[in-house]
Structure 1
Amino acid sequence: MALENPDVKEAYNDIPVRKALAAQLKTVRKAMQLTQQDIALKTGIKKQNISRIENGLGSPNFSTLNRYAAALGGSFVFQLNH
Protein backbone atom coordinates (compact mmCIF):
# COMPACT_ATOMS: atom_id res chain seq x y z
CA MET A 1 0.00 0.00 0.00
CA ALA A 2 1.34 3.44 -0.96
CA LEU A 3 0.59 5.03 2.41
CA GLU A 4 3.05 2.64 4.04
CA ASN A 5 5.82 4.66 2.35
CA PRO A 6 6.76 7.43 4.85
CA ASP A 7 7.27 10.05 2.12
CA VAL A 8 3.91 9.31 0.52
CA LYS A 9 2.19 9.31 3.90
CA GLU A 10 3.74 12.67 4.83
CA ALA A 11 2.64 14.24 1.53
CA TYR A 12 -0.85 12.77 1.95
CA ASN A 13 -1.15 14.16 5.48
CA ASP A 14 -0.14 17.64 4.26
CA ILE A 15 -3.08 17.85 1.84
CA PRO A 16 -5.67 19.22 4.31
CA VAL A 17 -3.24 21.89 5.54
CA ARG A 18 -2.34 23.00 2.02
CA LYS A 19 -6.01 23.12 1.01
CA ALA A 20 -6.91 25.18 4.08
CA LEU A 21 -4.12 27.67 3.38
CA ALA A 22 -5.12 27.91 -0.28
CA ALA A 23 -8.77 28.46 0.61
CA GLN A 24 -7.83 31.25 3.00
CA LEU A 25 -5.66 32.95 0.38
CA LYS A 26 -8.46 32.76 -2.18
CA THR A 27 -11.03 34.14 0.28
CA VAL A 28 -8.85 37.12 1.16
CA ARG A 29 -7.98 37.77 -2.49
CA LYS A 30 -11.65 37.89 -3.43
CA ALA A 31 -12.51 40.08 -0.43
CA MET A 32 -9.84 42.52 -1.63
CA GLN A 33 -11.38 42.37 -5.13
CA LEU A 34 -8.10 41.22 -6.65
CA THR A 35 -7.85 38.85 -9.58
CA GLN A 36 -5.52 35.91 -9.96
CA GLN A 37 -3.71 38.02 -12.56
CA ASP A 38 -3.21 40.79 -9.96
CA ILE A 39 -1.59 38.27 -7.61
CA ALA A 40 0.53 36.87 -10.44
CA LEU A 41 1.85 40.34 -11.25
CA LYS A 42 2.62 41.12 -7.59
CA THR A 43 4.35 37.80 -6.88
CA GLY A 44 5.93 36.73 -10.15
CA ILE A 45 4.01 33.46 -9.86
CA LYS A 46 2.31 32.43 -13.10
CA LYS A 47 -1.46 32.96 -13.16
CA GLN A 48 -2.05 29.29 -13.91
CA ASN A 49 -0.04 28.40 -10.80
CA ILE A 50 -2.14 30.81 -8.72
CA SER A 51 -5.19 28.93 -9.99
CA ARG A 52 -3.61 25.58 -9.13
CA ILE A 53 -2.80 26.78 -5.61
CA GLU A 54 -6.34 28.05 -5.06
CA ASN A 55 -7.85 24.82 -6.33
CA GLY A 56 -5.68 22.65 -4.08
CA LEU A 57 -3.70 21.19 -6.94
CA GLY A 58 0.03 20.65 -6.81
CA SER A 59 2.06 21.23 -3.68
CA PRO A 60 3.30 24.81 -3.38
CA ASN A 61 6.24 25.28 -1.06
CA PHE A 62 6.22 27.66 1.90
CA SER A 63 8.09 30.36 -0.03
CA THR A 64 5.39 30.41 -2.73
CA LEU A 65 2.56 30.54 -0.19
CA ASN A 66 4.38 33.27 1.71
CA ARG A 67 4.81 35.37 -1.46
CA TYR A 68 1.10 35.01 -2.17
CA ALA A 69 0.24 36.07 1.40
CA ALA A 70 2.61 39.04 1.17
CA ALA A 71 0.89 40.16 -2.05
CA LEU A 72 -2.30 40.36 0.01
CA GLY A 73 -0.51 42.39 2.68
CA GLY A 74 -0.48 39.48 5.07
CA SER A 75 1.66 36.71 6.45
CA PHE A 76 1.15 33.28 7.94
CA VAL A 77 1.28 32.61 11.66
CA PHE A 78 1.95 29.02 12.62
CA GLN A 79 0.89 27.43 15.85
CA LEU A 80 2.22 24.18 17.20
CA ASN A 81 -0.47 22.08 18.83
CA HIS A 82 0.67 19.25 21.08
Structure 2
Amino acid sequence: MPFKKVDVKKEVEERISINDDFKKSYEQIDKEYELIKEIVSKRKELGLSQNIIAERSGLKQQVISRIETEGNSPTLKNLIRYLDALDLTIKIEDKNKSNKSTPCIY
Protein backbone atom coordinates (compact mmCIF):
# COMPACT_ATOMS: atom_id res chain seq x y z
CA MET A 1 0.00 0.00 0.00
CA PRO A 2 1.59 3.32 -1.02
CA PHE A 3 2.00 6.12 1.49
CA LYS A 4 -0.12 9.21 1.14
CA LYS A 5 1.85 12.46 1.33
CA VAL A 6 0.34 14.74 3.98
CA ASP A 7 0.77 18.50 4.18
CA VAL A 8 1.09 18.77 7.95
CA LYS A 9 0.94 22.56 8.06
CA LYS A 10 -2.27 22.58 6.02
CA GLU A 11 -3.78 19.81 8.16
CA VAL A 12 -3.00 21.70 11.38
CA GLU A 13 -4.42 24.95 9.98
CA GLU A 14 -7.63 23.17 8.97
CA ARG A 15 -8.05 21.59 12.41
CA ILE A 16 -7.34 24.90 14.15
CA SER A 17 -10.04 26.60 12.08
CA ILE A 18 -12.73 24.06 12.98
CA ASN A 19 -11.84 22.88 16.49
CA ASP A 20 -11.39 25.35 19.36
CA ASP A 21 -10.03 22.66 21.73
CA PHE A 22 -7.41 21.68 19.18
CA LYS A 23 -6.54 25.35 18.66
CA LYS A 24 -6.03 25.93 22.40
CA SER A 25 -3.92 22.78 22.76
CA TYR A 26 -1.81 23.68 19.74
CA GLU A 27 -1.21 27.21 21.03
CA GLN A 28 -0.15 25.84 24.43
CA ILE A 29 2.28 23.37 22.87
CA ASP A 30 3.64 26.11 20.63
CA LYS A 31 4.35 28.31 23.68
CA GLU A 32 6.20 25.45 25.39
CA TYR A 33 8.21 24.75 22.24
CA GLU A 34 9.19 28.41 21.80
CA LEU A 35 10.27 28.68 25.44
CA ILE A 36 12.47 25.58 25.26
CA LYS A 37 13.85 26.68 21.88
CA GLU A 38 14.84 30.03 23.37
CA ILE A 39 16.53 28.40 26.38
CA VAL A 40 18.52 25.99 24.17
CA SER A 41 19.51 28.88 21.91
CA LYS A 42 20.79 30.80 24.94
CA ARG A 43 22.80 27.77 26.14
CA LYS A 44 24.43 27.44 22.73
CA GLU A 45 25.02 31.20 22.51
CA LEU A 46 26.92 30.96 25.81
CA GLY A 47 28.97 28.08 24.40
CA LEU A 48 27.85 25.64 27.09
CA SER A 49 27.39 21.92 26.50
CA GLN A 50 24.66 19.77 27.96
CA ASN A 51 27.33 18.15 30.14
CA ILE A 52 28.35 21.49 31.64
CA ILE A 53 24.73 22.35 32.37
CA ALA A 54 24.30 18.92 33.96
CA GLU A 55 27.29 19.52 36.23
CA ARG A 56 26.13 23.01 37.20
CA SER A 57 22.53 21.99 37.81
CA GLY A 58 23.09 18.64 39.48
CA LEU A 59 20.89 17.02 36.84
CA LYS A 60 22.03 14.14 34.65
CA GLN A 61 22.98 14.89 31.06
CA GLN A 62 20.11 12.64 29.93
CA VAL A 63 17.66 14.89 31.84
CA ILE A 64 19.13 17.96 30.13
CA SER A 65 18.72 16.25 26.78
CA ARG A 66 15.09 15.39 27.57
CA ILE A 67 14.37 18.98 28.62
CA GLU A 68 15.70 20.12 25.25
CA THR A 69 13.74 17.55 23.25
CA GLU A 70 10.53 18.63 21.55
CA GLY A 71 7.53 16.86 22.97
CA ASN A 72 8.87 16.53 26.52
CA SER A 73 7.66 18.83 29.27
CA PRO A 74 10.18 19.21 32.09
CA THR A 75 9.07 19.44 35.68
CA LEU A 76 9.11 22.96 37.07
CA LYS A 77 11.83 21.91 39.53
CA ASN A 78 14.12 20.65 36.73
CA LEU A 79 13.42 23.65 34.52
CA ILE A 80 14.40 26.02 37.35
CA ARG A 81 17.60 24.04 38.01
CA TYR A 82 18.42 24.20 34.28
CA LEU A 83 17.79 27.95 34.18
CA ASP A 84 19.89 28.48 37.32
CA ALA A 85 22.78 26.67 35.63
CA LEU A 86 22.53 29.22 32.80
CA ASP A 87 22.17 32.15 35.23
CA LEU A 88 18.69 32.79 33.80
CA THR A 89 15.34 33.35 35.45
CA ILE A 90 11.73 33.55 34.34
CA LYS A 91 10.01 36.91 34.51
CA ILE A 92 6.25 36.94 34.95
CA GLU A 93 4.40 39.77 33.22
CA ASP A 94 0.79 40.69 32.65
CA LYS A 95 -0.09 39.57 29.11
CA ASN A 96 -2.09 42.71 28.48
CA LYS A 97 0.81 45.02 29.32
CA SER A 98 3.79 43.11 27.92
CA ASN A 99 5.36 42.76 24.51
CA LYS A 100 3.93 39.48 23.19
CA SER A 101 6.71 38.85 20.68
CA THR A 102 8.82 36.46 22.78
CA PRO A 103 8.65 34.63 26.11
CA CYS A 104 10.09 36.60 29.00
CA ILE A 105 13.32 34.86 29.98
CA TYR A 106 16.25 36.68 31.47
TM-score where L is the length of structure 1: 0.72
Q: Which has the higher helix share?
A: 1
- 2:40 corresponds to: 26
Identity of aligned residues (%): 33
Dislocated runs of 4+, deviation >6 Å: none
Q: Structure 2 residue aligned with 1:62, among 56, 76, 82?
A: 76
5+ residue gaps, structure 2, are 1-23, 97-106
CA distance 1:50–1:71, change in 2 (3 Å): same
70, 77, 80: which one aligns with 2:91: 77
Whole-angstrom distance in 2 between the partners of 1:49 and 1:70: 15
Distance 1:67 1:11, change over 3 A: farther
1:55/1:26 Cα in 2 relative to 1: closer, same or farther (>3 Å)? same
Larger Rg: 2
Q: State the structure with bigger RCO (CA 8 A, min sep 6), 1 or 2.
A: 1
TM normalised by structure 2 equals 0.58
Q: Which runs of 5+ in 1 are unaligned?
A: 1-9
Please give the alpha-carbon distance, in whole angstroms, between the structure 1 residues aligned to 2:78 and 2:94: 21
